[in-house]
């Protein structure tokens, strides 16, 4: 096991509620704290920062192991959470406290942040200029406890806010990849296509991973985005792969499903918009109480000893 190389990264991306979840469950992330930075007033309160008179911005401070999850990957995630062309705030939240910024803590972070900003500008993905600030870090003040891990504590309201603010739609419209049906029919077998593109369900107890005994992670069969790990898989007795949590909830979307005369919460992949399965609240209580019931046909399994050759070596830390 390698020695930890702990660093701190600070990002302002509008409402800090929405900037914890994308980083929180990544490998090598030790802690994500919501707070305030950029201004000169010590120990500001939420109400004071919201007046847009303190100079502070809502931000997150991420403690991470750079030997597992390098700063470049954090930057890549950061850009995908924000509208980097908005100089007046983020989505429905307006004012100085909601402006975006990368606050660098070292000269190397400054260099990498400026390079990544330039790469985004040169990509032509956005027609407007990239206006996110790259600034030296100032003292970071943790926010009140009620704002910490808000996406976990107030899951329903958080999802409503993320959608209602316009952030969720912006991310989907700008970062989700479009896959043509003809292309997918060539790359997926019939059951994989039926499940992911036609909201199908495979037969229980006769699918590929329902009783998998190997260690490894599961990725989206369409996009290749990591979704689940065997460290969170358990036998729920239902005949499909079941998990207590995803690798990162930000890689999934959830929506009401009223098909077949039932009311269920459907789980889809964020990037490919593939149907994966459903999530229920009858999972192990000591693991959070959730059961993600997922079709094997929506997944591709990568064994632990194959992670490195698939560019997923960061996830080896899950099995140490």
Active site residue 293: yes
Per-residue model confidence as pLDDT tens digits over 8-43: 999 999 999 999 999 997 889 999 999 999 999 999
Note the pLDDT of residue 76.
Answer: 94
Mean pLDDT along residues 223-229: 95
pTM (predicted TM-score): 0.79
Would strands 101-104 and 133-136 be described as parallel, antiparallel, or unpaired?
Answer: parallel
Q: How far apart are CA 175 and CA 232, in angstroms?
A: 27
Q: What share of the chain is helix, strand, coil (3-state, %, to 5)?
A: 35, 25, 40
265, 268, 267: which is closest to 257 by C-alpha?
265
Query: What is the set of domains in the chain, with CATH numbers?
Result: 6-175 (3.30.1060.10), 181-319 (2.170.150.20)
Helices (H), the chain: 21-24, 46-49, 71-79, 107-123, 150-153, 155-164, 167-175, 181-187, 190-198
Concatenated DSSP letters of the chain:
-PPP-EEEEEEE-SSGGGGTHHHHTSTTEEEEEEEEESSS-SS--HHHHTTT-SS-EEEEEEEEETTTS-HHHHHHHHHTTS-TT-SSEETTEESGGG--EEEESSHHHHHHHHHHHHHHHHHTS-SS----EEEE----EEPPGGGTTHHHHTHHHHHHHHHHTTHHHHHHHHHSPP--HHHHHHHS-HHHHHHHHH---PPTTSSTTTT--S-EEEEETTT--EEEEGGGEE--SSSS-EESS-S-GGGEEEEEE-GGG--EEEEEETTT--EEEEEES-S-GGGTS-EEEE-GGGEEEEEGGGTGGGT-GGGGGGG-
**Mean pLDDT over residues 257-283, rounded?**
87
Task: State the burial class of residue 133 (Cβ atoms within 10 Å of its Cβ: 0-12, 13-18, 19+).
Answer: middle
Q: What pLDDT shows up at residue 2?
A: 53
> Which of the following is catalytic: 15, 18, 50, 238?
15
pLDDT, tens digit (0-9, with 9 covering 90-100), for 146-187: 999 999 899 889 988 999 999 999 998 898 777 888 989 999
Output the average pLDDT for the chain.
94
The SS3 of residue 178 is coil
pLDDT at 311 exceeding the cut of 60: yes
Is residue 238 part of the annotated active site? The answer reads: no
Q: How confident is the model at residue 251 (pLDDT cuts 50, 70, 90)?
A: confident
pLDDT at 177: 77
pLDDT in tens, 77-125: 999 999 999 999 999 999 999 999 999 999 999 999 999 999 999 999 9
- Band of pLDDT at residue 197, cut at 50, 70 and 90: very high
Q: Which of 18, 50, 238, 293 is the catalytic position?
A: 293
């Amino acid at each position: 096991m390698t020695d930890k190389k702990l660093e701190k990264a600070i990002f302002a991306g509008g409402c800090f509620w929405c900037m914890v979840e994308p980083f929180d469950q990544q490998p090598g992330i030790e802690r994500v704290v919501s707070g305030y930075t950029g201004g000169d007033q010590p120990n500001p309160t939420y109400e004071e920062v919201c007046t847009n008179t303190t100079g502070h911005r809502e931000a997150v401070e991420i403690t991470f192991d750079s030997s597992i999850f390098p700063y470049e990957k954090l930057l890549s995630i950061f850009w995908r959470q924000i509208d980097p062309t908005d100089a007046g705030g983020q989505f429905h939240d307006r004012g100085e406290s909601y402006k975006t910024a990368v606050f660098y803590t070292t000269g190397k972070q400054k260099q990498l942040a400026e390079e990544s900003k330039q790469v985004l500008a040169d990509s032509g993905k956005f027609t407007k200029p990239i206006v996110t600030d790259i600034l030296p870090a100032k003292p970071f003040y943790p926010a009140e406890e009620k704002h910490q891990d808000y996406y976990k504590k107030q899951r329903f309201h958080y999802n409503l806010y993320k959608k209602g603010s316009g952030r969720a739609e912006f991310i989907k419209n700008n970062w989700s990849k479009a896959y043509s049906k003809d292309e997918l029919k060539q790359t997926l077998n019939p059951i994989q296509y039926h499940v992911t593109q036609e909201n199908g369900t495979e037969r229980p107890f006769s699918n590929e991973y329902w009783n998998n005994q190997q260690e490894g992670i599961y990725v989206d069969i369409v996009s290749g985005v990591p979704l689940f790990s065997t460290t969170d898989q358990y036998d729920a007795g239902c005949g499909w792969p079941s998990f207590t949590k995803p690798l990162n909830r930000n890689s999934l979307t959830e929506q009401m499903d009223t098909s077949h005369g039932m009311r269920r919460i459907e789980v889809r992949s964020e990037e490919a918009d593939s149907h994966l399965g459903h999530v229920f609240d009858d999972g192990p209580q000591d693991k959070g109480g959730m059961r993600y019931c997922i079709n094997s046909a929506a997944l591709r399994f990568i064994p632990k000893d194959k992670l490195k050759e698939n560019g997923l070596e960061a996830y080896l830390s899950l099995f140490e």
